[in-house]
Every structure is written in C-alpha cells, then in structure tokens.
Structure 1
Amino acid sequence: MDGLTVRLPDSLREKASDLAEEEGISMNQLVMLAVSEKITRLDAEAQFAHLDALERFGEAVAEEEGAQSDELMEELLRQAGDEEPREGDRRPAEAK
C-alpha cells in the first residue's frame, strides 16, 4: 500500500481530526473511508445514469416499434442468447 500526503487547510484538518476522534478512528481511516464513500457514490451515479440511458433508449425504440419497452428488452435478450456473434453482427472497423 502506498502512502499519500494530503495538504488540508487548518480549519478542515481540525474538523477532520475532531470527527476522527468522535468516531474513534485514526485520521488515516477517516480519509480512507471518505474517499471510499465518494468513489462508491460516483460509481453508483454512473451506473444509474447508464441504466437511465438504456431505459430511455429502450423506450424510444419501443415507441418506434409500437411495443412496450420491457417486452422489447425481453425479446432482445431472448434473441441474444449465449452464442458468439455471427458474421455481420459486429460493427464495421473504422477507417484509419
């Protein structure tokens, strides 16, 4: 595990130190937990944004096809199956 030096304004360091003491943990643990929580929140937001985009895409396609988005997604998943892509299923390579 690598070390990391973090420079904090005195006021923020004092608050962090007080919080760590209240929680009964070291400053190192407090910073590690804070960074971990932030990363977890950002990852969750990204996943929700991705799922939202997929849902909007599914709704748009369903609207165009005149089907319900859940039905369309189930049909697409059923068609996908476990088999490898066939010739022509892949996107054409971009010209360089």
Structure 2
Amino acid sequence: MPGYILMPFAVFLVCCVLQFWFVKKIRDRLIEKHPDTFLAIEKKAIFPHQALWKFTRGHDYKSLNDEELNLRVRNFKRLYVVAIFAWIAYAVTIFTAPIS
C-alpha cells in the first residue's frame, strides 16, 4: 500500500481532534461573555455539544457582535471544510491507488 494514501487520513484525523479544541474555545467564550445565550442554547439540546454545533452551523453567533467569537466560529467552520475535503481525498486515493 502506497504511503500517500495515509496523508489525507492523517489530515482528517488532526481536524477531528482540533474540532474538540475549537468547540471548547467557542464554549469558553460564550460562558465568559454571553452566559445567558449559552444557557439558552444548552437547554435546547440533549447532548452537550449538540447545541454548540447547531449554534455554529447557523448564523445566530453573528447577532452577538463579538469579534473574537466570530473569529473562532469562522475558524471552526474552515476546519470543518478542510476535514470534509481531506476525507474526500482519502476516499479518492483509496479507490484509485494501485494495489500491489
């Protein structure tokens, strides 16, 4: 198996691990600067990070006018896009790599 097959998977794995760090930073910022908003979105969810995920997927964070929070959410979304492309690249290399 060629070694280049594992490079996109490694990028995907790093993105998955970094997502936890980004969600923690977003959560910390909400608790620190916008505790009412944090409590409101956490009450809607069954799982702990489900509410934060929905909050970042929409555009609700923009209404808080918090530049640092906006930056963290945008970076989180960029990381998500990189993870998706890494997974697609991994799938393509799996199916197109020569078997030897």
TM-score (norm 1): 0.35
Structure with the larger RCO, 1 or 2 (CA within 8 Å, 6+ apart): 2
TM-score by structure 2 length?
0.34
Structure with greater helix percent: 2
